[in-house]
Every structure is written in structure tokens, then in C-alpha cells.
Amino acid sequence: MLYIDIVYQMRYRVIIPTIFFLLFFILCENTYATSSNLDKQDNIILTSNFDINHTSIAQGTSNNYFIFFSNKLDSGKSGIGIASSDNKIDWQIINREIILPNESAHPNWSETDVFSPTVIFYNNEYYMWFVSSRAGSRQFKSGESIYRIHFSKSSDGLSWSNPVNVISPSPNSWNSEATSSPSVLVENDQFKMWYSGRDSKGLWKIGYASSPNGLDWTQLGTNPILQSSESWESAGKHLPGTVSPSVVKYKNKYIILYSTGEQAPFNNIAIAISNDGVSWSKYSFHNPLIQRESGKFDSNMVSSPDALVLDSELWIYYSGHDGNKWSIGLAKGDLDIDPEESKDAIVVVPGMFSSYDPVGLSICSKTPWQNWKLIPQVTEYNGILKTLQTQGYTLNQNLFIFPYDWRQKITDSGQDLKSFIDTQVIPKNPDSKINLVGHSLGGLVSRSYLQEYAPAGLVDQIITLGSPHQGVTEAYKAWAGGELPEDGPMRVAASFIVNICKIKTGSLTNKSAIQKTAPVYKDILPTYQYLKGAATHVWLDMDKLGDEFNNSYLSGLNQTYSNYSDKFTKITSTSFDVDKVYGVAGYMEDQIRGVYMHGRPTTVLISAPGDKTVLAESASVTNENYIDIPLDHKGLIYSREGIQKILEVLGIVVELDDITAGQPTNFKPSLSLLMRSPATINITDQNNQVISSGDKFVFIPNYDSGNYKVEVVGTDKGSYELVVGQITENSTHWESFEETTTQNEIDTYNISINPDQPNQPVIKDNNSIHPIQSASNKITQLQNIENNPILDQINQLLSNLDKLSDQEKVDQALRIIRYLGSYYQETTNTEGKLLALETIQQIETLLSNLDPELDLSSARFKLAESIQQKKLERLNKKGQATELLGINYSEASNRFAKAEINENSNPRLNQIYSFSAYYLIN
């Protein structure tokens, strides 16, 4: 363990249980020194009448030490100087100008400043990496790269070779504007560098690179490795981030010091620890470690730590600013790192809609698990991860969280978990057993891995929290009827699938879209009896429901559960009522549409204890030997009480007050933005706070009403589609918007949203392509696919649509929908059918804007029903059936033929109903 005992200015003492570190500040007065007259104080003084900062200390050939530092030259530019000492405390400046900026030395790089050196003594030479700037004022401009890292070497520390560029900013990445502040170690002739990068939004992060010679560097593909995540780093508010790393190694542990802070990247110095130099834990320390002190040399800023380990002592040289100039201070202390007991690896498997892959969500099909990431705004799991890190676990070393495609079959997710464990967990924990902590659906995925894929003896324990081992009744609504469940994550997930994937998969109903895209809903159907006749209260015969509505997967796992029961701990709740049995009734319209084939739920006949989402008897597998905590479904994993129970099962004793709780994610209301390539999204809220930068998918739970600014940044040339979805307590509303872009082109949209009025158009921007233009573009695409006179008629109607009055636009738009329906019926081209449905959607968007009272969802259902009836008609003509699904064909035809006068009083909508009836009887 690493223990730190902090003494600040020798005035007070704080003992942190897991850390012992004697820290004291040796501060400088407002004194002046030059290379010939250094005014010394006890223990340390390195100050002058010019700025001195960004230091790096290196030991020479004998018992002498050098500090290499940045300083402001008489020219106003920054250069690099050197000072020497034989005790590391009393310093003498030797030369302020050992490396100077050279505007003509580098092609296409007019160097105006050099600063932030890091120096090592290697093979009897000094190796230096430093920052070169081509912006004299160091003022960043969005998208412009101005910092990069250069390399030089010297035999004496005074005369240096011509610098060469070794690491530059990468366009459209986490370090697009700057690579800066290098820190280098050499281990077994392998050079390792930690360095800062700044993105186009001004956020600093820390990355890692390696080199065989100090010149040719390979940057880690998963960079950045350290970024803002805590309130004292305040990345979301002022965008400082993490910057200026300094890394040392002690007893096989890497220790990093870095600058961070609330108002600028110079307010605090923090510390973290790592086993491999890539995965870092900030939570074994009382951070921030060094802060400003009023009235002292660092009263305004602290920055740029440089660490040195001497025996068991850690010395931290750092820059302090008093409001007028920079000077160098020192903090030092004793390190005591004891050998750690081996810890079994822990893998946390989250529930539904906790992970995302923007490509997978866009194309509505399976993508590799490596592409899936945790949704940052889903915060239920933050508490368990942080608490385990305070207990000595290191994220991505012996503590993991597994993002996955929650739409796919559970067995496929279990197989992906096997791949994750084989490639990510076992190589870092070769002699460790594995503990699985699965919440909700994650418990079933963990179970799939254990019972289907795990090698014998590898899994020590599996803890499931609110996992539906016998299914969940509400899944029937989504799987059988395409209806959105009430449960937050299941509701958002189903809404996403219905609105993003319905047209993409060629589905005519919500049910079809869900069954094609998200077979997971079948895997969580109940294994118990859950349907009765609403009027008769007679159980439906489960055997007669067919395989589509019987959960053979969970039933199979449950049959072999007893072989693994000694590894299971099931945590649930009995404090809330949960739907168990639906009363269902049959409706002819449902039968024709192919939904709720065994009855639509009209009432809840039986409720039973659970956690608001999952029945306790389902979460317990066998309705026995479970832990009951009076918390709801989310609280089981995010609350301190739930986390304490998990730790207790794992044999970790922590007081409740020492546990960090997660936060519940409010899915209703929530806002989702999805970018279909080639572009990314930057979004800023009404208070000008950055919510997300450089992403293709943004999820905002519990969003506030107001105007949001969305920037779409092109990553290539082509067309893109921006999809915006609102989910509220009682409704959902989705819009899509199309435009073209080129690389680095920025389109700005003002989005006005209000959870109380989710059906209002949210995208209001002069840059937008009108639905008429979008529809016209799609008709052009159709004409390129095939020559059909109907398309010519549609194009003619579209050409003058924008010139008509609103009343005339509605009438003409309805005519266009009729023609598109005719085309859909005639064409045999699959791509043509999809484009026709997309064009209908664009015209419906126009109709919604013109007449918000028009119930287009009903009209869309009628169109789908007409197509279904054509299938019935073909069967009837072939003599294969006069009755299908229990519905007499002629009866259905007559019913829909009367739709115009019976179904709705809205005459405009009746035109669409008439259109459906036309196809039924002709």
C-alpha cells in the first residue's frame, strides 16, 4: 500500500488511511537571483526577476543535479535554461539560453517559443524533449495546431543538437490542437512518454507513447489514458482537463503528478497510481494533492510538477505564480509502498441501454463488442467503480466494466463477454479468479458466460442485482406488439429501435423492427405463466403460444442452475409492486397488423413484490436464498447500501460513510442525438456549457427546456443525417434532418426543446434542407434505380408544392403519399421500397408541421394494414385461405372500405384511410 501523511506549511497534519506521504512546501519570498547572484533561502529558492517555470530535474555524471527550466527571455519569447545544485535544494542558474526558438529551422513551422522540457541522462548523454510553439502569444484558435514536441541531446547539458520534431498534433482527435508537456522514462532500453494533448474544444488530456530510441514514437491507440472525471478537475465547466504530467516509478508502481483545476489548468496538482502506466487510479489519494496558498508564491497558480524519487523519498518540484511572476517550489515526502495482496479481478456488467456504438445504432445490425462504449451520462455504475478503486483496485487492471451490444441475443453477449475476459482481463490477471457483478440484463449476460462459456473454476462468484432470471412480464409488450415499455432503459431502448431501425430494416410495424433488431426482448420474456383472458381470467396455454413467445433460452439456463448455484448471490427487493400477469383481449385490427397475436394487454390481473421492474421471484431464480434490500431497480446498484452489500459478498468491509454512491439516470425525460456519418456532434446547452464534443451519439437524461446549440463537424465529404429523439413520461418524438458536408465543415443548428411539448419540431435553422427538398432528393435517387411513371408524377407534384397555400400543401402532400404507396406496391426493388418509406416519412414531417392535429401515426398504421391485406388477398386468390389468423378476409375488407366515413372525423386523414380501403377492395 502507499501511505501519505500530509503536513502543509508545518501547520497541520492530515492522515489518510491508505496513503502515507510527508509533504511540506518550501516557499520563496519575492527575492531576485541571477546567474551570478542567487539569493538563497533555507532548503529551496529558485526565483529571479524573470519568470521561471516548467522544470525538469536530471542527475549528472557525478553527485550533481541539473534543473532544466522554461523562462521568459529579454526578447519576450520563451527559452530553456539550466541551473545546477549538489544538494537538490540550493540552485545556481548557469545559462538561461541553452535552447532558443528558431523561426527558420523547421519547414512550415515558424517556431516562436520553446518550453516545458523533460530531461533524462542516458548512455552518458542528456536527452531532452520539449514543446515547440509556432504561436507567439500562445493563443489557441479552434482547429489550429500550435504545440508539438521536439527532441535534442547533449553531452554536457549546455550545447545541444539541432532539435527534431517527434510528436505532432493529430487532426480531428483528442490532441488536434496541441501535444505538450512530455515526461519520459526509460525501462530496459524502452522509452516511455506521457504527454498532454488538447482538442478543438480546449480540453486537455494525457496520452502515452513508446519508442525504441527516443526519436520514433508510437502513440497508444486507446489514448487518452487520463482525463478529467472529478469535481475538483471541473472539466465540464471551464475545460481545463489534465495537463503537464510527470511520471516516476517506485517498487513496480507508476506514480503520476499532473496539473488540473477548476478555473484554469494551473489551480491544483493531483496524483494517481498505476500498475502499467496506462490504467490509472486517482482514488487512493486525497486529491488534489497540492493547492494554491494565499499570500505565498503560489497564491495565484500551481502547475507543472516534476517528480524525483530518491531512495524512499518523493520530491516534487513545481511552478507557482503569485500574480506577477513564476517561481519554483518544492514538496517532498516519504513513500512506503508495501507488497499488495493479490486481488481477484472484478468485472461489472451493466444493464440495458448502458452502452453505445454509434455505427451499430445507425446501421441497426450487430457490430463488434470492441466498438461499444459506456454511455457517459448513465451514472448508476460510477459509485461501485470508484468505491472499489478506493479499496486498492485499479480500473482496467483488476477492475473492469464490460460495454456490449444489449440488443442481441443474451448468448451472443455472453460469448462477447468471454472474448472480453480472454483478451482484456486474463492477460492482466493470469493467476486470478474472476468475480462477476451483473446488474439487470448484465446479470443474465454474466450468467450466460458462466454457464455456457467459462472454463471450469475460473469464476469465483457471480453477483446479480435485479436480474430477471425468469424473465420480465413487460417485455411482452415490446416483443408481441412493438409497444414501448414503461421501464426507463427498456423504453429508451425500444424507442431507439423503433424510430431508428424501422425503415432501415424494411419493417412495416414497430413489432417487426424490434424483432429484427433486438432479439434480446425474446430472451427476457417470462418463463412463468403471465397471460390470462381479460374477461375470462383463464390462463392461456403456454404450449400453444409457440416458440416465438416461449422463453426456451432462460428455461434452459434455469434447468442447469443447480450445477452453479454455489457461485450465485442474488440481490433483489420485495418493497414494490411489479406487474406479473396481464389480462389480454383480441382485436381484429391487431390481427390484421400482425401484432399481439395472442391478445393485447388491457389490464394487470396480478402484481407481486419486486424492485419496480423485476419480480423478486424472477430475480432470485428459484424464489429462495436471495438478499432483500428495500431499494428500487436502479438503487440496487447505485446506492451506498447496495454497494455495501456487494462489497460484503466480495469480502471487502467498508463503512457506509466511506462508500461513494452512483447517481440514478432519469430516462424520462431524456434527449438523444445520433449522427449518421460522416460527421461528429458538439452540443452546448442554454448556459453555454459544453455537454459533449466530437461524438456521434449524445444522450442527455433529465434534460432542461431551452435552446441547445448543435455543431455538426464534417469528417469527410458526403451526406449526413442528424436524428433527434425526445422521450418523456407519456410520449416520444423523433426528428431526422439531412444535409451534406465536407471535412472540417461546421454546420450549426439551434435546437429548441421542451419536455412538456415534445411533439413540437426541435430543429429550427436556416441551414436546414426543407422536407420537400429532402423528399425530392429521394425521388431522384428512386429514378436512378428504375424508370417508373409514378415517380415522374410525384416529382411534378413536389416541384410546385412549396408555392401552394398551407391548405393546398396538405391536400397535395396526401396525394403524394398515395402515389408513393402505389409505387411501393408495384416495385420489386428492395432499395426502392426503403426509399419510398423514407420519402413518406419526409412528407409526414411536412404534414406534421402544417397540421399538428393530424394523427399521422394512425395513418401510417393504415398504410401498413393495406399492405398486409394485399398479402391476404393473394392468399385468397390462390385458394390457400379464406380465413387467416382467425379473421374472415371479406369481413376485413368491408370494415376498411368503410374507414372513410367511420374511423375519423378529420377529412384530411380520411383521404389516407380511403387510400388504404382502395387497396383492400381493388
Cα–Cα–Cα angle for 619, 623, 628, rounded to 5 degrees = 60
Lowest mean pLDDT among 147-156, 276-285, 625-634, 707-716: 276-285
User: If residue 124 lies in a helix (H) or strand (E), which one and from where to where?
Assistant: none
The yes-or-no verdict on residue 50 having pLDDT over 70 is: no
Read out DSSP for 906-921?
-HHHHHHHHHHHHHHH
Burial tier of 890 (Cβ tally within 10 Å: 0-12, 13-18, 19+): exposed
465-487 pLDDT per residue, tens: 999 999 999 999 999 999 888 76
The yes-or-no verdict on residue 825 having pLDDT over 80 is: no
Contact 629, 573 (CB under 8 A): yes
Residue 677: per-residue pLDDT: 80
Round to whole Å and give the CA distance between 228 and 590.
Answer: 51
Beta strands in 188-291 (DSSP E): 190-198, 204-211, 218-219, 243-250, 253-260, 268-274, 280-281, 290-291
Strands 434-439 and 345-349, by their bridges, are: parallel
Q: Where are the domains of the chain?
A: 5-334, 670-753, 771-921
Residue 136: per-residue pLDDT: 52
Percentage of the chain beyond pLDDT 70 is 81
**What mean pLDDT is reported for the chain?**
81
Contact 583, 601 (CB under 8 A): yes
Strands 434-439 and 459-465, by their bridges, are: parallel
Helix (H, G, I), strand (E, B) or coil at 612: coil
Cα–Cα–Cα angle for 628, 633, 636, rounded to 5 degrees = 55
Lowest mean pLDDT among 489-503, 521-535, 798-812: 798-812
User: Residue 635: which pLDDT band, with cuts at 50, 70 and 90?
Assistant: very high
Grid coordinates of 22 = 510527508
Residue closest to 243 by CA, chosen among 297, 301, 284, 182: 182
Percentage of the chain beyond pLDDT 90 is 38
More confident site: 524 or 89: 524
Contact 696, 722 (CB under 8 A): no
Q: Which CATH superfamily is domain 5-334 in?
A: Glycosyl hydrolase domain; family 43 (2.115.10.20)
Helix axes 830-850, 771-785, angle to 10 degrees: 160
Lowest mean pLDDT among 18-22, 242-246, 719-723: 18-22
Hey, how many other C-beta atoms are within 10 angstroms of the C-beta on 82? 24
Round to whole Å and give the CA distance between 459 and 475.
Answer: 30
Hey, how many other C-beta atoms are within 10 angstroms of the C-beta on 177? 25
Contact 275, 295 (CB under 8 A): no
Helix (H, G, I), strand (E, B) or coil at 453: helix
641-686 pLDDT per residue, tens: 999 999 999 999 899 999 999 999 988 888 888 998 889 999 988 8
User: Residue 848: which pLDDT band, with cuts at 50, 70 and 90?
Assistant: low
Residue 630: per-residue pLDDT: 96
Round to whole Å and give the CA distance between 65 and 59.
Answer: 4
User: Residue 694: which pLDDT band, with cuts at 50, 70 and 90?
Assistant: confident
Round to whole Å and give the CA distance between 425 and 413.
Answer: 16
Cell 447500501, residue located: 641
| C-alpha dist (Å) from residue 730 to 491, 701, 856 | 11, 15, 18
366-389 pLDDT per residue, tens: 999 999 999 988 999 999 999 999
The yes-or-no verdict on residue 17 having pLDDT over 50 is: no
On whether the pTM is more than 0.75, the answer is: no
Cell 515547440, residue located: 132
